[in-house]
Each structure stands twice: as C-alpha cells, then as structure tokens.
Chain A
C-alpha cells in the first residue's frame, strides 16, 4: 500500500461527491445518448413481442441462442459484487475499499438486465409470471419446483434482493453525508433515505458487524446462483455439451472471472471519468489482476476438464460436438477467439507488474476477457443445439438476427445508463470506507524505511 495518500475528509467529500454535487460535462450527453439507445432497444423488444419470435434467428433446432447466452453472461457479471465485496470484506483486505460499491452496483444492475432475457426469450412475456408463479387455487396448478426453470428465478430473485439490501445498508453512512451537503428536495430525499443516520458508535458497530454478517450470508447464495443457472442446461440431457458434471463449479468460477474483469473495466472508467486518481490507484488494479490470474487459471483448468471428460467418455455424439466446436467453421474461429481473449492474451500479460499497474492496459485486457467469456457461453449453448443430428427437422445454421443484436447492444447501454443515473444521486466509492482507511492507517518507521501500517481490530 505504498501509494496511499494522506487525504482529509473535506477533500474526500469534495472529490468523491463530485458526481452528486456537480454534474460533470460529459454526463448529460452520455446519458442522453445511452437513453436513446435504450429507447431503441425497448422499441425493438416491443416489436418482437408484437410480431413474435419469428423476427429472431431462433428456429429448430436452435431455440436457445443470443438471448440465453446474454442472460448467462449478465448473471456471470453479477458475480463481481459478492466476490469482491463479501470475500474481501470478510478477509479485511485493505484494497477492497474503493472497489466494493461499484462491484455491488454491478451485481444489482447486471442481474436486473439478466432477468429481462428469459422474459423476452419466452415470446409472450406476460405469460412468464404465470409460469413462475401460477398459484392458481381454482385449478390447483402450482409451480413445478422440480424444474430448474423455477429454481433459476428463485435463486436469482434471492440474489437480487440480497444484493440490493446489502448495497443499501452500506450506503446509509454516505446518504447521511449527502444529506449534510445538500439543500432543498435533495436534502429531503437524503434525509429520508439515510433514515436519520448520525454516526454514533452503535450505528458504526452495526455497519461493521452487519456488513460481515451479510457478506457471510451472501456468499452461499452467490455460489448457488450460477450453479443453478448451469442446471438450466442439465435438464436437456439429450443435448451434448450441456450436462457435464462439473458444470456448476465451472460456471461459478467463469462468472467470477468475467465479473472481476468487469469490475476492472468499471474502476478504470471511474478513475478516468470522475478523476479519482487519489482513490482508485494502480495498486488496486495490481491486486485485482493478481486475483484474476488465479481465478482465470482455475477457470482454464475447468475448461480443460470439461473437454477431457467429454473426450474420455468416447461417446460418439459428444466427440462429434467437440470436433464441431473446435474444427468446423465458423465455430473453430469463435473457439480460437474465445481462448485468446479469455485467457491466452490477458493472463500472460498480467504476469508483468508493468501491465498490472498500467490502467489503460488493464482496461483493455478486462474488456478482452469479457468478449471471451461471452463467446464461451455462446459456444456452450449454441453448438450443442446446432449440431447436425440424423432426425432433426432442419439443419439450418443459427444466425442471430438484427433484432437479437440490437437487444444485445441494448443490454450494455441499459446497464451503463443505470450506472450513470445512480452516479448522479449516490456515490460510487464508499466515502466512509475511504475515511476509515485514513483513520486506521499510520506511517511507521522500520529502520530507515517509512512504511504505511494498517490497524486491524481483533473482532
């Protein structure tokens, strides 16, 4: 932590509340542009609902395509929040401080976006409520809890509710801070939202103990969510490549890889856009990259195991699928691109400290990872269905339509739009965490070296 700087609380307030108390020049044009893309996306979704799924490229035998791939992708991104926030909080990792809120926020908004995809994928979204919650007492029909398609919304609903509450509880001290810095309707809003926060020892203790308790409770949920998402595929036991026994941990570690990479992307953007050089420092990127090397290598191990298990079984359809994924155009091109972007390019680069502490390089490598991780989901989902089998009705290859691509782009604009709207009203970096870091840190002399020392409470 050699890059830590002595920052007083007035400066910390001014810098970290610059998005709420002032409006950066780029903010409004960006929000308007994103808002337009969001509106176009919503219009396209409405057209699709009106015309039916015929406007997509989905057709027999490929019924799960871009929408489900993007659903899995956003659920994966959502794993950033708890991985970063809960695990680092529990282990009292000092470098977590500027990262936690952005990670939690990414969890909430990416889950909200992920939920849209199964909804619109169903073709008639209004019927999905009846599918998930058909508590129809008159006819005695209830949800089939044996289906992963019920387990999935239950798990994601739990994760979304828990993450939102976690985010709100950790926001309370900063809402109190905003209440103290604002006037008029904004002051009234923050007064209500902060619930009358004062900052006495009882409230701070509850923040600390409650934060640890919530972290511990959210971790098992975090593991269960992507496990259950992976079981969505396990129900189709006839589809090769969808029912590997390692799918649950494979999906979880893949989600952590893409989620933590998305946090790196977001941190770089936050540093550049809001000029938070004093708070989001190269040391934080260095720590995240070290974590990513471990996660990515673990994930690669699972990828290798998945392929090994498939080939070792000597099951002809399974081998045919792997052959198609790796050696037939266009899947082979996508497979190479996936391997290069998800691992082969970024991870060897992160082995060098010069790269880990170079924010531009970290930004671009984290983008690469998420291109690769999206392709990974696409290569898991689509080839299994698209493989030519003797008795399918059609051997038509799946080509996502412009409607699907537009909705795919909409999802990115939507998450960014929500993030920027949030940033106008709430701080993206927890102020009280930054200030706590200053209180709990001091410089000590060891020989002739001045070293920052961090005090950690015993319980």
Chain B
C-alpha cells in the first residue's frame, strides 16, 4: 500500500482552520496533516500543532566548537613561531581574544544556519503534493495517509469546511 496525499485549497484562513479542526475530530493523527501558506500567520491561527524545535542549541554548539578551535589556532601558531616582542609573553592574550571572538561568532552563525535548515526539514527535493497558488495567497491543507480507506473521510472533511479544490497525489 503506497503513501498518498490530498491537498485541499482555501482562499480564507477561517475555512482552512475549520478543515484542520475537522481532521482532528475525524481522528487523523497529528503529523498526518499540515497547513501550507505563502506568508507567515500568527502561531496557532489554523489550530495547527505548534512545532517544537531545538534551534537554540545549534549556536551554542557552534560557538563552543569555534571557541575551542580558536584557542588552538591562536596559541599553537604563536608557540610554533615564538617571536618575543619587548620582553612580553609569547601568548598575547588581548590579540588572541579578538581572533577567538570572531571565530566563536562565525561558528555560532554557521551552526545557526545549519540548524535553521535542519529544523525546517530542508532540503526536501521531493516535497510532495503542492499548488503554486499557495504563494498567491491560497491556503493549502495537506493530508497524508498510509491507508486508502481514509481518503474519502479526509475529502469529506475538506469539502465540508469549504475547500474550493481538492488535489490528489
């Protein structure tokens, strides 16, 4: 039995939210249906499951790696080519701090970007059923099933909520 999905298209947020409520009431599990929009809506506008994420861990992780690497780079390069200036210590802490700061921040930024991509579940080169009108203001409610017998139920919910069109894939 292959996985298939349907997409109900709406022009207004209220019927799309009704469709999401209807799917929940009809017993569809969280994660099997989602809403697609061309613009951000306030969180919970469609009664959708509020996604949990771990994005805040990424910059911390990146910064720790960058900071560690920067200590290694700045201290080892100075120790490997010891150049005494005015009798001062070989390891020039204030100069090191600047490079360490930049490397820490750079790693933090790169890790955050990686985090945004991963937590957004991207890249996804086979994104499934979609309609280009979504980026023109239409709202899509997509339902995915493993069981063909539920297709009719989902269509019924979408139609009752006022879907203007239903696409199959």
**Are A9 and B51 neighbours in the complex by a CB distance under 8 Å?**
no
Interfacial chain B residues near A9, Cβ < 8 Å: 38-39, 135-137
Give the CA-CA distance A200 to B108 in the complex, in Å.
26
Residue from the set B39, B74, B125 with the largest chain A CB neighbour count within 10 Å: B39
**Does A158 make an interface contact (CB < 8 A)?**
yes
A8-B137, A196-B126 given; A214·B105 CB < 8 A:
no
Bound: A364/B38 CA distance, A: 37
Nearest Cβ on chain B to A119's Cβ, whole angstroms: 19
Is the pair B43, A13 in contact by a Cβ cutoff of 8 Å?
A: no
**A144 and B78 alpha carbons, distance in the complex (Å):** 7
Contacts of A154 in B (CB 8 A): 98-99, 102-103
Is B92 a contact of A145 with CB atoms below 8 Å?
yes
A432 within 8 A of B: yes
| Chain B residues near A436 (CB-CB < 8 A) | 39-40
Interface residue count on the A side (C-beta < 8 Å): 64
B40 touches A145 (CB 8 A): no
Q: Does A435 contact B (CB under 8 A)?
A: yes
Instruction: Say yes or no: B116 contacts A224, CB within 8 Å.
Output: no
For the complex, what is the distance from the CA of A146 to the CA of B75, rounded to whole Å? 11
- The residues of A that contact B130 with a CB separation of less than 8 Å are 198
Q: Complex Cα distance A185/B148, Å?
A: 36
Q: How far is the CA of A151 from the CA of B115 in the complex (A)?
A: 28
Minimal Cβ-Cβ distance residue in A for B134: A199
Q: Which residues 31-46 of B have a CB within 8 angstroms of A?
A: 34-43, 46
Most-contacted residue by chain A among B48, B50, B92, B122 (CB, 10 A):
B122
Cα(A202)–Cα(B35), bound, Å: 10
Query: Which residues in window 2-19 of A have CB below 8 A to B?
Result: 8-10, 13
A323 to B98, CA, bound (A): 35
Q: CB-CB < 8 A to A165: which residues of B?
A: 109-110, 113
Among B21-29, B79-87, B151-159, B160-168, the stretch that binds chain A is B79-87
Contacts of A438 in B (CB 8 A): 39
Set of chain B residues within 8 Å of A169, measured between Cβ atoms = 113, 116-117
Q: Which residues of A contact B78 (CB under 8 A)?
A: 142, 145-146
B residues near A13, Cβ cutoff 8 Å: 135-136
Instruction: Count A-B pairs with CB separation below 8 Å.
Output: 187
User: By the criterion CB–CB under 8 Å, are B105 and A204 in contact?
Assistant: no
Inter-chain contacts of B110 with A (CB < 8 A): 161, 165
Flag whether B146 is at the interface (Cβ < 8 A).
Answer: no
A32-49: which residues lie under 8 A (CB-CB) from chain B? none
Task: From B42, B103, B127, give the contact of A455 (CB < 8 A).
Answer: B42
Q: How far is the CA of A142 from the CA of B122 in the complex (A)?
A: 39
Binds B, one of A173-181, A239-247, A355-363, A381-389: A173-181
A202 contact set on B, CB distance < 8 A: 51, 53, 119-121
A207→B34 CA distance, assembly (Å): 17
How far, in Å, is A84 (CB) from chain B's closest CB? 18
- Do residues A146 and B92 form an inter-chain contact, with CB atoms below 8 A? yes
* Pair A206/B119 contact, Cβ less than 8 Å: yes
Q: Which of A10, A157, A207, A217 contacts B59 (CB 8 A)?
A: A217
Residues of B within 8 A of A172 (CB): 120, 122
**B112 x A210 contact (CB < 8 A):** yes
Chain A residues whose CB sits within 8 angstroms of the CB of B36 once the complex forms = 198-200
Partner of A180, one of B81, B109, B123, B135: B135
Determine if A195 is an interface residue (Cβ-Cβ < 8 Å): yes
Residues of A within 8 A of B101 (CB): 220, 224
Nearest-CB residue, chain A, relative to B39: A435
Judge if A302 is at the interface, Cβ distance under 8 Å: no
**B99 x A200 contact (CB < 8 A):** no
Min CB–CB distance A145 → chain B (angstroms): 5
If the complex has contacts A161-B110, A195-B123, A202-B120, are A176 and B135 also in contact, measured as CB distance less than 8 A? yes
- A198-B134, A201-B49, A207-B120 known; 20 other A-B pairs, CB under 8 Å? A10-B137, A142-B78, A145-B78, A145-B96, A147-B95, A151-B102, A157-B106, A161-B106, A165-B109, A180-B132, A180-B134, A196-B122, A196-B126, A200-B36, A203-B122, A204-B41, A224-B101, A438-B39, A440-B42, A457-B43
Residues of A within 8 A of B (CB): 8-10, 13, 140-147, 150-151, 154-155, 157-158, 161-162, 165-166, 168-169, 172-173, 176-177, 180-181, 191-192, 195-210, 213-214, 217-218, 220-221, 224, 228, 432, 435-436, 438-440, 455, 457
A-binding residues in B (CB < 8 A): 34-43, 46, 48-51, 53, 55-56, 59, 73-74, 77-78, 80-81, 83, 85, 92, 95-96, 98-99, 101-103, 105-106, 108-110, 112-113, 115-117, 119-127, 130, 132, 134-137
